[in-house]
A and B are shown apart, each in its own frame.
Chain A
Amino acid sequence: MKDIFNFSKKVSVLALGSMIAFSACDKQLDIQPQLSIDAAVALTTPQGVQTALIGAYERLQGGQFYGTNINLASELLAASGDLTWTGSFATYRQFFGKNTDDSNLEAERTWIRGFQTINIVNNVIEKIDVVQDEADKSRILGEALFIRGIVYFELVRLYGLPWQSGDPNTNLAVPLVLTPTTVVTEANRVSRASVAAVYAQVLEDLTRAKDLLPEANGTRASTYTASAFLARVYLQQGGAANWANAATEADRVIASERFALTPTYADAFNNSSNVPEYVFAIQQTNQSNAGSANYGLTTFYADAVLGRGEITINPNFLNNFEAADERRDVFYLDPRILRNGKYRDHYANIAVVRLAEMYLIRAEANFRNGTAIGTTPVEDINTIRARAKASTLSNITMEQILQERKTELAFEGFALHDAKRLQQSVGQLAYDSPNLVLPVPLREKNANPNL
């Protein structure tokens, strides 16, 4: 009997052990991410669509885009005396040396960031019907189209030959992708679209945005922001019809009276919140910014104590200003090297469109067409000069308007695009030299044989 007892004890323990051992644990494999949500549910609510839109703005902020490269690529590629790159990053040194190769990481990062942003807004555009409220729906769709428009505008200017060069219908720019990516297939190997096709898309998106967007939209895009960019696009293309459009759009922004020049020129920079002069600015906070070590305009332009001190301004550049012109005073010595003082705070907002530019566009476009949409060119120029405490002009030439543009908007990212549209050579290079165009990144050509 003892044996039986012993035995059955052992068998029951064995059975228990087996049960513990082999009970199913399938549900234990169901582990959900806590920092992300599934793409299938992300955009199924109006709130989801709205937050994705915010995600797109955030992507614009990075150093890969407006946070650094949109400015630096333009200023460094166009640099021929006013500014010198003395930094250690070989990528920017290539921009400055006009010998950017296709493995240049910054050229690659800007490309990637641009299309990443486009994919976000393409998702928003596709899911727009999730938003029921009509006003919200127009606004969100308008903002998404606005972002797609400005990103393509930056990309076409950097990665394509100038509008003025050869035939924009055959010159290649970047691929046009207008639908969101849900699965990656061969169909995603899109070829480059022509410069003209991209410009057409930019105009279409910005025009639709202009019609959809509200008059005011906090620090994000409003109908006037769309107009401001339209003015820029038309000016970039040039020609009588476009100049007229440019003047009209710039005038629309100015006439809205929603924006105002800051009392002093210095007030227009290093602001941690928007000032009335900003038609569009990238919002930065210490929580969310382009960076303060390897990215950020302050990082490169400011002195080596505040940033890396890797861009010096040629002292002769100050000869562009009258002695009383306060615009001269934003440049500072550190202690013997001249620095651009427009970016002296890592966490300040980055102005992308200032109202001053609208005056300059209106003046230039009116002058070229001999029109006075809004007001006369000399009035507009004097408006800007008055704020800077520069002397008042009684009459004006094209050269003076362009000079005004150069001094007012110096080192804010206009240099390359102005040189191209004005067909000015950069050093020894013609305005449409391929050396002034960023190459299609090698990684992209590797992943997409159609490029």
Chain B
Amino acid sequence: MKRNLLLSLVGVFIFLGNVVAQAQSVSGKVTSAVDGSPIPGVTVLVKGTTIGVSTDIDGDYSINAGTDATLVFRSLGMATQEQPVNGRSTINVLLKADVNQLTEVVVTGYGTQERRDVTGSIASIGGKEIENVPVVSLESAIQGRVAGVHIESGSGKVGQGIKVRVRGSASVTANNQPLYVIDGIPITTENQGISTNEPTNPLADIDPNDIESIDILKDASSAAIYGSRGSNGVVLITTKSGRSGKTRFNLNYSTGVSQATNKVKFLDGPQYVDLYKESFARSRTVAEWIEGGDFNDLEDAMDYFLPEWRDPANSNWQDQVFRKGGYQEASLSASGGTDKTTFYIGGSYSDQDGILIGNNFKRYSGRINLDHKASDLITVGANFNLARSENRRVANDNAFASPLQIVALTPIQPINDPETGELNTNTIYYNSLIEARDAFDNSTVFRNLSKVYGQLNFTPNLTFRSEFGLDLLNQVEEGYQGNLTQTGSSRGGFGTYRTVNVVNYTTNNYFNFNQTFNEIHNLDATLGMSYQNATTSTSSVQGEGFPNDDFKKLASASEITFGSSTATGYSLVSYFARANYKLHNRYLVSLSARVDGSSRFGTDNKYGVFPALGLGWILTDEAFLENVNFLNFLKLKTSIGLTGNQEIGDFESRGLYSVVSYAGVAGIYPTSVANPDLKWETTRQFDAGISFGFLNNRISGSVDYYLKNTTDLLLNVQVPATTGFTSITQNVGKLENKGWEFSLTTQNLTGELTWSSSFNYSRNRNTITDLQGQVIVAGAINRAVEGQPIGVFFTRKYAGVDAATGDALYYLNADSDETTTNFGAAQQQVVGNPNPKFTGGFVNDFTYKGFDLSILLQFVYGNDIYNSAGRYQSANMDYLDNQTADQLNRWRQPGDITRVPEARFYDSNGTGESSRWLYDGSYLRGKNLTLGYTLPKNVVTKAHLGSVRVYLTAQNFFTITNYPGWDPEVNTQGTGPSSQRANVGAGTDFYTIPQAKTFAAGVNFGF
């Protein structure tokens, strides 16, 4: 007894777990309730312990369990079942498809939880849904599938950064991308490319086929465990692991083609010449030039600018840069293991040709996940992922070398020089076909994501887990621009070589305790700490003067013109605790807190505290609802908590001097003013929701309302340049996101033909409530303005064309209908909003015998797009740029009613930045369609295979939109991508590459 007393002093719970009842062996078969086929890979657990096995390929299992124990049968997508052993030695189980996935296990960060018990808002996606989707990175695969998560590709270039917003933009200046955590380790996701090109996407190094599940923490009570980085939501990615039993192989191959979702109609040669002549004849500027003696007459002026008008070619430049892209992917995986050791091994190769010449993405990836139970006390494991991705890049949108800027070239100049037969070098702007032929820009990434862990299972209820994860990113960017390219021509060829090395390591150490007391109290507690350290080093060399274009390495450069190396880094020390308490299996309380210390903040404010509280009530477990048969599940939940954001530069709280060089001598100058008070940006989020299931859970879903208030914005505050500085980072301002999320899943048909639908809808309203008068300008015409949503389009409002004169008209100011032809006199005002009113997706899945069909529609509604290139390409022939065909509708004579002003060369008639090129960006997209056929078992078995499935898949197979540009999913980054640029400068098109429409066919073997 003395011993027991002693024990109770240190922790009675440790002892409790040691009491194990007498064991016996239980075996059986798990089969599908639908067709009776065996289900492999079902986890069979002895309830309340960590003892578990998996069913083998025939659905068989065998486990040692106490005679009084309860077995839990769990498989993704299936309803979890519990079976008391009651002394039985054989237990056969029929598993049903899980309709509402209430019992599925949700990854919550440093732990897991059953969905029914979750008080926060967590969206989950199974690996099945993103397998074999013909896209480069995982964000594209989940687009449209989850409420509250808005995903937007910047352009159709393969391998580039993708914008993801969980419940809106919580910051103006700091990064708004969510935190990505793979198997417990936060990974590097920031752009690692040079600042003069669009952002790269380190997530593209991850093979989506390795992913078991994705859980997105959206509200404060779930994300606060990631404290300072929870404001933008947290994406938890779990990779596949093995299950004991026979080793299963899976081989997949798919191949396909892609093309642009849309092309824009431009003027052809004859149309161009007509408009060219007209614009000269009607130009006041040209008339003045002639008057002033610069030119003899109209034709002389026309000869000066474009002599080809006399003998015009008819070139379709756009067709020169678009191509049919190709796609292929092959993957092979093996998984299995014994009672003690399980493994997953996967390898894949994917190769995607962009729809533009010169754009390609290749990835080679291998993964090994191992878990080993060394003893009842110790579990160890390791994840090891090695990937190499090669991205053949094209220039940023805002460069003449960018492929699609080729549409600016006039159709009356020939593509090839008729004399030499080579590409025309005398075009009005740079002929970017030369770039595609004579230049390359390759970014090659070696990525190693590794993790080792050890877990001590003191008792089935108390564990301690220690993880060490390493994310190594080694990037090499190599480029060469030949003697005839724009950049290379004056330099005798121009070569660049840049390396980026990111070492990002994390250690997590935490206790988990889970116990039910007196059958009515359940406590699931976590306590731990984490340390993360990331350093980035880069080096860069440039050289010029190459003998000829056959020499491309810098060793052949006659002059090395630039060399540099840099280094930066940050670290985070964190302590976290969470307690989930459940009473009577229906009253839920979740309390969590994290204390984060960051190297990025001022000495006085390094640490921040981020607490959260969640409450839930499962009404269907109450007696008063026991007899309401149509209602299977009803839960009310609410949560409130604080999360933070620290995604700013590494040293923004410091006053710093940086180095420059002048005439071979080093100099320094002040680049920032100190702000020792700089602290965390904090978001307080309130969430209330309801989850439900009706009619045997054939109808299930959830509704959530949230209100996110961000204060102490980490704002890039504009200061008078007379200080010597243009901006400093201060905690200034507030903003708010509020919205609704709605998801509904229905089983419409459950017979031989099954049909299920899943619909999600989200609406977010962003309002900047306080900026203390700051005006933040980004992109072409975007702004952050007090009282408006982030990134509103702020410019002069176009009022069309004066029918009497053909002059462009603008509204004088926001309050009047009065118009003016004086561009300068018209006041700038809010003319549009790049944020959608609502977004969502609609999935329909059908199965019939061996056939399966899945259709995903995705929609975005109510956002505006500004075509920043409109000033050049839809500008009633103000300059030589080829014009979109809609400019033919220009004003020609008094009385013409049109929105296109009179064509007047170089007169700037209606070409100033204005709402003239603002369009509705709503769209409905056929995002994915997959039709598969699984060969009958008897056929497959004869071939000694486990399963064979052939499928056809189509990505972006249709797009309905009123946007007249290439594609409504655009967001040009311009040069120098910064988070503020991405946050505020949204919804802008600038010769941006459209999305790819991809059709692929594949075959999948299991054996």
Contacts and interface: CB of A to CB of B under 8 A. Distances in A.
A98 interface: no
A35 B567 contact: yes
A13 interface: yes
Given A26-B597, A48-B668, A53-B667, A444 B721 contact: yes
Interface in B515-557: 528-529, 531, 533
B725 A31 contact: no
Contact of A181 (B660, B673, B872): B673
Contact of A447 (B10, B509, B599, B719): B719
B597 A29 contact: yes
Nearest to A273: B663
Nearest to A20: B509
B724 A116 contact: yes
Interface string B582-598: 00000000000000011
A187 to B, nearest CB: 10
B778 to A, nearest CB: 12
A307 B575 CA distance: 57
A275 to B, nearest CB: 15
A448 B313 CA distance: 53
B651 A14 contact: no
Contact of A33 (B14, B568, B664, B666): B568
A116 B606 CA distance: 30
Nearest to A11: B10
B674 interface: yes
A189 B720 contact: yes
A17 B721 contact: no
A450 B562 CA distance: 43
Contact of B657 (A42, A53, A112, A444): A42
A122 to B, nearest CB: 8
B718 interface: yes
Q: Which of A29, A39, A292 has the largest count of B CB atoms less than 10 A from its CB?
A: A29
B719 A188 contact: yes
A295 to B, nearest CB: 14
A276 B661 CA distance: 24
Nearest to B662: A58
A40 interface: yes
A115 B721 contact: yes
Q: Which of B567, B655, B661 has the largest count of A CB atoms less than 10 A from its CB?
A: B655
B944 interface: no
Nearest to A188: B723
A184 B725 contact: yes
A29 B534 CA distance: 11
B: contact size bracket: 35 or more
Given A14-B458, A285-B664, A448-B720, A33 B654 contact: yes
Contact of B659 (A7, A35, A59): A35
A286 B558 CA distance: 13
A401 interface: no
Contacts of B625: none
Interface residues of A, number: 87
A34 B14 contact: no
B814 interface: no
Nearest to A35: B566
A305 B661 contact: no
Nearest to B720: A448
B3 interface: yes
A6 B456 CA distance: 13
A201 interface: no
B125 to A, nearest CB: 32
Given A17-B464, A29-B598, A181-B673, A115 B722 contact: yes
A287 B544 CA distance: 12
Contact of B656 (A10, A33, A43, A190): A33
A423 to B, nearest CB: 22
A14 B650 CA distance: 36
A84 B304 CA distance: 13
A42 B670 contact: yes
Interface in B805-842: 824
B293 interface: yes
A320 interface: no
Interface in B761-789: 775, 777
Interface in B455-503: 456, 458, 464, 466, 487, 489-490
B728 A184 contact: yes
B561 interface: yes
Interface in A282-330: 283, 285-288, 292-293, 305-307, 314, 316
Contacts of B573: 25-26, 28-29
A286 B718 contact: no
Contact of B510 (A21, A97, A305): A21
Contact of A28 (B533, B669, B725): B533
B667 A55 contact: yes
B657 A33 contact: no
A38 B14 CA distance: 52
A84 B292 CA distance: 12
B726 interface: yes
A352 to B, nearest CB: 14
Nearest to A112: B721
A120 B724 contact: yes
B667 A58 contact: yes
Given A88-B429, A183-B673, A188-B723, A51 B718 contact: no
Contacts of B528: 21
Q: Which of B7, B665, B674 has the largest count of A CB atoms less than 10 A from its CB?
A: B665
Contacts of A81: 292-294
A101 B666 CA distance: 37
Given A21-B528, A307-B490, A31 B569 contact: yes
Contact of B651 (A3, A21, A33, A190): A33
Contacts of B656: 33, 36-39
Interface in A413-451: 441, 443-444, 446-448, 451
B629 interface: no
B824 A443 contact: no
Nearest to B574: A25
B670 A119 contact: yes
A177 interface: yes
Contacts of B722: 115, 174-175, 177, 188, 190, 444, 448
A28 B559 contact: no
B655 A38 contact: yes
Contacts of B18: 3, 6
A240 interface: no
A158 to B, nearest CB: 14
A218 to B, nearest CB: 8
Contacts of B566: 34-35
B320 interface: no
A56 interface: yes
B873 to A, nearest CB: 12
B377 interface: yes
A219 interface: yes
Contact of A20 (B377, B466, B721): B466
Interface string B636-661: 00000000000000110011111111
Contacts of B466: 17, 20-21
24 contacts: A3-B3, A6-B18, A17-B464, A17-B466, A26-B573, A29-B597, A35-B566, A36-B654, A36-B656, A38-B654, A51-B668, A57-B663, A58-B667, A59-B660, A175-B722, A188-B720, A188-B722, A189-B720, A314-B294, A443-B726, A443-B775, A446-B775, A447-B719, A448-B720
Interface of B: 3, 7, 10, 14-15, 18, 292-294, 377, 429, 456, 458, 464, 466, 487, 489-490, 509-511, 528-529, 531, 533, 559, 561-562, 566-573, 575, 597-599, 606, 650-651, 654-674, 718-726, 728, 775, 777, 824, 871-872, 879, 908
**Closest 7 pairs between A and B when the two form their complex, measured CB to CB:** A119-B724, A54-B667, A39-B655, A55-B669, A283-B663, A55-B667, A58-B662
Given A17-B509, A115-B724, 11 more contacts: A17-B464, A28-B533, A36-B656, A52-B668, A54-B660, A57-B662, A57-B663, A58-B661, A122-B724, A175-B720, A188-B722
